[in-house]
Chain A
Amino acid sequence: MRHGFRQSMAWLHTWSGLIVGWVLFAVFVTGTASYYRAEISRWMQPELRREATIGPDALARAAELGVAHLQQHAAGARTWFIALPQPDRPLIDLFWRTKPGTPPGRAVLDARTGEPAALRETRGGDFFYRFHFELHLPPLWGRWIVGICAMIMLVALVSGVVTHRRIFADFFTLRRDKAAQRGWLDAHNVTGVLALPFHLMITYTGVVTLALIYMPWGVTVAYKGDQQAFFAESGQITQPRPAAGRPGALVPVGPMVREALATIPEPLERLTISHPRDAHATVVAVFEEPHGLSHEHPQIAFDGTSGAVLEVRRGGLQPAAKTFTTMVGLHEAHFAGPGLRLLFFLCGLMGSAMVATGLVLWTVARLPKEGRAPGLGWRLVHALNVGTVAGLPAAVAMMLLANRLLPAGLAGRAEWEVWAFFGTWLAVTLVALVPAPRRAWSGAMAFAAILFLAVAVADGLTTRALWDDPAWFLAFDAAMLALAAACALVARKVTRYVAPARGRRSPAEGRPMPAAQARTALQPVPAGREEAGRRFERA
C-alpha cells in the first residue's frame, strides 16, 4: 500500500484514528472525570452528611442492618454485596445478584437506622465511571467495543510515533501563526507526544484491566476455562466455595466484622456473602488497598455458618500477578494524592485533546476546494466531531444541571438524569449539521460554557441550604466555572480566528493578534487575509 513503511503507517494512523476517535474521546473524557468519581458522587447527593470517624461498633452494626435488609428483600439471591459506611459516605450500599440474566438489585440504607436513605436518586460519579468502559450498553457489548477501540488506539499511537518525523525538534512547538492545518497538527503532536508515556500506559493498562474478557485463552487451556480457580491460585481472591446444596443459617456477621478489623489495619470496604442460605455460605471481608501502586485488596474469608476464619489474603503476590495488579493500580490511580491526581487529570485532558485535535485535523485537511460544497462524508464527520467534542462536555454539564433542577421526589429520577445526558449529546450532534462549520463549533462550545456556568449558579441557588461543607461545594463550583471559561475560550478563539495568508507572511501578521485587531476580525475579513478560515466558513 502506498510507498514505504512511513506512508503506510501514516495512512493507518489517519484512518484507524478516525473510525474510533469519537468513542475514544468519550472514553477519555469520562475516564478523566472518573479520577474525581467520589467527588462527583458527593456533589450529586448534597443531602449526605459526612462523619468524622466510623468505629468498629458502628461498622459491625451497619453490617448487621445490611444483612437484615437483605434477608428480608433478597432472600433468594446468589450473592450479596454490602458496602459498609465510610466517613465520606456514611451509608450502607446494598447490591445483590439473583441469577444470570436477571437484573441485580440495589438499595441504599441509612447507616444508623437501616431505613432507606433520604437522598436524591442519582447515578452520581458512577455513571461516568461505568460509561468509561461500558458506554451505557449491555456490559459485554460495551466492554468489547471499548476494548477494540483501545487496541486501535494502541495501533494509532504506535503508527503515530512512526509517522511523526521530528519528535524531538518539534517537541516544544505549538505554532499559532501558521496555517490552520499546521496549528492543529502542532496541537495534536504536542498533546500526543508530551503525554505519550501516559497515553501508552493508560491504554495498555486499560485493556489489561479487562484482559480476561478479551484474551481468555490462557485460562481456557491451563484452567479449563475456570476463571475463579485462576484468580484464587494467583492470589487475587480467596478460594471460592461452591454451594453445598444443603440449607444453612448465616450466623451474625457483626463478630466477623470485628475480627476482620482486628486482623488487618486497613479500612474495611465491603462484605461479599455468597450462597447466604446454604451450608457453604461464605462471608468475605474486603479491605481498601494498602498505600501502594498495586491494586490489591486484602481479604478475609469466613465460614458463614460458624463464623470461623477460612483464609486471610494480604500481599505476597508472585511477580506476574504483581505486575498485573500494578497495571490495574496505575490505571485507576487510587494511590495518587491531590497533587499527583491533578497531574493524572491533566494528562487525561491532554489525551482528550489529542483525540479531539486529531478529529478536527481530519476535517481541516480535507476542506472542500474553494467554491465547492462539502461531500456527505465530510459533513457527517464534521457533525460527529462537533457533536462529540463539544456535545459531550455539554451533556456532562446538562446531567449535573438536571441533578440540581429535577424535583427530588421524581419517579425514575436517576434515569431522567441519564436521559438529559444523552438527549443533549444527540441534540448537539443533530444541530451541528445545520449552520456553517465555524458557527457550529463556536455555538456548540458556547452552549457547553453556558451549561457549566448554569451548573455552578443552580448549585448556589437551589442547594446552598444543604451544603455541609460550603468551602468544598464552592471549590467544586469553581471547577465548573473553570470548565465554563475553558469552553468559552474555545468558542471565542473559533469565532475570532483569522488564518494568516499563506506564502507572503509579514512579521506583523505572524504575531498573535492584538485585541483591537482581533475584534475587527468579526467584521467582514479583508480579502487575502483568510484562506483556510474562509473556506471553513463557507463549507
Chain B
Amino acid sequence: MTPLVLALNLGLSFLGLTALCVSLPRHHGAVSAAVLALRRVVLLRLAGWTLIALSLLAAAALDGWNFGPVQWLGSLIGAGLMLIVALSYDPGAIRWLVLASVLGLVAAPAALLLDPSWRTESPEAGEEVPAPRHGGR
C-alpha cells in the first residue's frame, strides 16, 4: 500500500506548497498574471496549510502515527524540491505538475478503494503479514 500512500502524500504536499508559494508576491507571477489581492493571499495560505495538514492526516490514517509522520515529512520535502526546481528552471511546468497531482489525488483513493487488501491490513495486523525487508526486497 505504501507507494499509493506516498503518491497521495506527494500530491497533497505539492498542491499545498504550490498554494503557499503562489501566495507570495515574489512568486505569484509564475503561474498567474492576476493581481495578488489580500483576499487571494489569505485564501491561498489557508488552502496551502489545509492541504499540508490533510497530507499528514492521510499519511497517519493509512500508515499509522508511527510511519505516517515520517512518510509525510519525506514527501513534503520531495514535493518542495520538485516545486523549487520547476519554479526556477521552468515555471510553466508547474501547471502540469499541479494537473498531475490532482489526477494522482483522484487516482490514489480510487485504487485504495478498489483494492480490498488494505482494509484487513491495518498497521496492528502487520505482524502476520511478512514485513517488507530492508527496502522491500
A and B touch in the complex (CB under 8 A): yes
Chain A positions within 8 Å of B, measured between CB atoms, are: 38, 88, 169, 171-176, 190, 194-195, 197-198, 265-267, 288, 290-293, 330, 334-341, 343-344, 346-347, 350, 512
Identity of the chain B residue whose Cβ is nearest the Cβ of A198 in the assembled complex: B77
Asked if A267 and B136 make an inter-chain contact with CB atoms under 8 angstroms apart, the answer reads no
Contact A290 to B131, CB < 8 A, known contacts A172-B83, A176-B88, A343-B74: yes
Asked if B70 and A291 make an inter-chain contact with CB atoms under 8 angstroms apart, the answer reads no
Contact A339 to B2, CB < 8 A, known contacts A172-B21, A291-B132: yes
Residues of B within 8 Å of A176, CB to CB, are 88-89
B81 within 8 A of A: yes
Residues of A within 8 Å of B73, CB to CB, are 197-198
Asked if B136 and A337 make an inter-chain contact with CB atoms under 8 angstroms apart, the answer reads yes
Among candidates B71, B126, B131, residue contacting A340 with C-beta atoms closer than 8 Å: B71
Nearest chain A CB to B19's CB is how many angstroms away?
A: 12
Contact A293 to B133, CB < 8 A, known contacts A172-B87, A344-B74, A347-B74: no
Residues of B within 8 Å of A190, CB to CB, are 84
Interface residues of B in 1-38 (CB under 8 A from A): 2-3, 6, 17, 20-21, 24, 26-27
Interface size on B, residues (CB 8 A): 35
Assembly CA distance A174 to B127 (angstroms): 45
Asked if B134 and A38 make an inter-chain contact with CB atoms under 8 angstroms apart, the answer reads yes
Among candidates A171, A173, A291, A346, residue contacting B78 with C-beta atoms closer than 8 Å: A346
Residues of B within 8 Å of A265, CB to CB, are 127
Residues of A within 8 Å of B21, CB to CB, are 171-172
Among candidates A194, A292, A346, A512, residue contacting B84 with C-beta atoms closer than 8 Å: A194
Give the most central of A169, A337, A350: most B CB within 10 Å.
A337
Asked if B89 and A267 make an inter-chain contact with CB atoms under 8 angstroms apart, the answer reads no
Among candidates B2, B24, B127, residue contacting A172 with C-beta atoms closer than 8 Å: B24
Among candidates B3, B26, B27, B67, residue contacting A335 with C-beta atoms closer than 8 Å: B67
Identity of the chain B residue whose Cβ is nearest the Cβ of A193 in the assembled complex: B80
Assembly CA distance A23 to B73 (angstroms): 27
Residues of B within 8 Å of A335, CB to CB, are 67
B119 within 8 A of A: no
Residues of A within 8 Å of B77, CB to CB, are 194-195, 197-198, 343, 346-347, 350
Assembly CA distance A265 to B27 (angstroms): 53
Asked if A346 and B81 make an inter-chain contact with CB atoms under 8 angstroms apart, the answer reads yes
Nearest chain A CB to B30's CB is how many angstroms away?
A: 9
Among candidates A174, A334, A347, residue contacting B134 with C-beta atoms closer than 8 Å: A334
Residues of B within 8 Å of A330, CB to CB, are 70
Interface residues of B in 39-94 (CB under 8 A from A): 66-67, 70-71, 73-75, 77-78, 80-81, 83-85, 87-89
Assembly CA distance A174 to B80 (angstroms): 12
Can you report 14 A-B residue pairs in the complex whose CB atoms are below 8 A from each other? A169-B24, A171-B21, A172-B17, A172-B80, A172-B83, A172-B84, A194-B80, A265-B127, A293-B66, A340-B71, A340-B74, A344-B74, A346-B81, A347-B77
Identity of the chain A residue whose Cβ is nearest the Cβ of B83 in the assembled complex: A172
Asked if A169 and B26 make an inter-chain contact with CB atoms under 8 angstroms apart, the answer reads yes
Identity of the chain A residue whose Cβ is nearest the Cβ of B5 in the assembled complex: A339
Interface residues of B in 105-137 (CB under 8 A from A): 126-127, 131-137
Residues of B within 8 Å of A347, CB to CB, are 74, 77
Nearest chain B CB to A157's CB is how many angstroms away?
A: 15
Assembly CA distance A346 to B75 (angstroms): 11
Residues of B within 8 Å of A197, CB to CB, are 73, 77
Identity of the chain A residue whose Cβ is nearest the Cβ of B137 in the assembled complex: A88
Nearest chain A CB to B55's CB is how many angstroms away?
A: 14
Asked if B75 and A343 make an inter-chain contact with CB atoms under 8 angstroms apart, the answer reads yes
Q: Which 5 A-B pairs have the closest CB atoms?
A: A291-B131, A343-B74, A174-B88, A339-B6, A172-B21
Assembly CA distance A38 to B134 (angstroms): 9
Identity of the chain B residue whose Cβ is nearest the Cβ of A190 in the assembled complex: B84
Asked if B66 and A194 make an inter-chain contact with CB atoms under 8 angstroms apart, the answer reads no
Give the most central of A195, A288, A334: most B CB within 10 Å.
A195
Asked if A293 and B83 make an inter-chain contact with CB atoms under 8 angstroms apart, the answer reads no
Asked if A337 and B3 make an inter-chain contact with CB atoms under 8 angstroms apart, the answer reads yes
Nearest chain A CB to B129's CB is how many angstroms away?
A: 8
Identity of the chain B residue whose Cβ is nearest the Cβ of A177 in the assembled complex: B88
Nearest chain B CB to A268's CB is how many angstroms away?
A: 13
Identity of the chain A residue whose Cβ is nearest the Cβ of B135 in the assembled complex: A341
Among candidates B2, B87, B89, residue contacting A337 with C-beta atoms closer than 8 Å: B2
Residues of B within 8 Å of A292, CB to CB, are 66
Assembly CA distance A265 to B130 (angstroms): 9
Assembly CA distance A198 to B67 (angstroms): 15
Assembly CA distance A198 to B74 (angstroms): 8
Residues of B within 8 Å of A175, CB to CB, are 88
Contact A172 to B27, CB < 8 A, known contacts A194-B81, A350-B81: yes
Residues of B within 8 Å of A350, CB to CB, are 77, 81
Residues of A within 8 Å of B83, CB to CB, are 172
Give the most central of A174, A336, A343: most B CB within 10 Å.
A343
Identity of the chain B residue whose Cβ is nearest the Cβ of A344 in the assembled complex: B74
Residues of B within 8 Å of A293, CB to CB, are 66-67, 70
Residues of A within 8 Å of B71, CB to CB, are 340
Assembly CA distance A343 to B135 (angstroms): 12
Identity of the chain A residue whose Cβ is nearest the Cβ of B80 in the assembled complex: A194
Asked if B126 and A291 make an inter-chain contact with CB atoms under 8 angstroms apart, the answer reads yes
Residues of A within 8 Å of B134, CB to CB, are 38, 334
Nearest chain B CB to A84's CB is how many angstroms away?
A: 14
Residues of B within 8 Å of A173, CB to CB, are 26-27
Identity of the chain B residue whose Cβ is nearest the Cβ of A288 in the assembled complex: B133
Assembly CA distance A305 to B24 (angstroms): 72
Assembly CA distance A347 to B79 (angstroms): 12
Identity of the chain A residue whose Cβ is nearest the Cβ of B131 in the assembled complex: A291
Residues of B within 8 Å of A338, CB to CB, are 3, 135-136
Give the most central of B2, B17, B78, B136: most A CB within 10 Å.
B78
Residues of A within 8 Å of B3, CB to CB, are 337-339
Q: A172-B24, A288-B133, A337-B136 are in contact. List 16 more A-B contacts (CB 8 A).
A: A38-B134, A172-B27, A176-B88, A194-B84, A197-B77, A265-B127, A290-B127, A293-B67, A337-B132, A338-B136, A339-B6, A340-B2, A340-B70, A343-B6, A346-B78, A347-B74
Assembly CA distance A200 to B75 (angstroms): 17
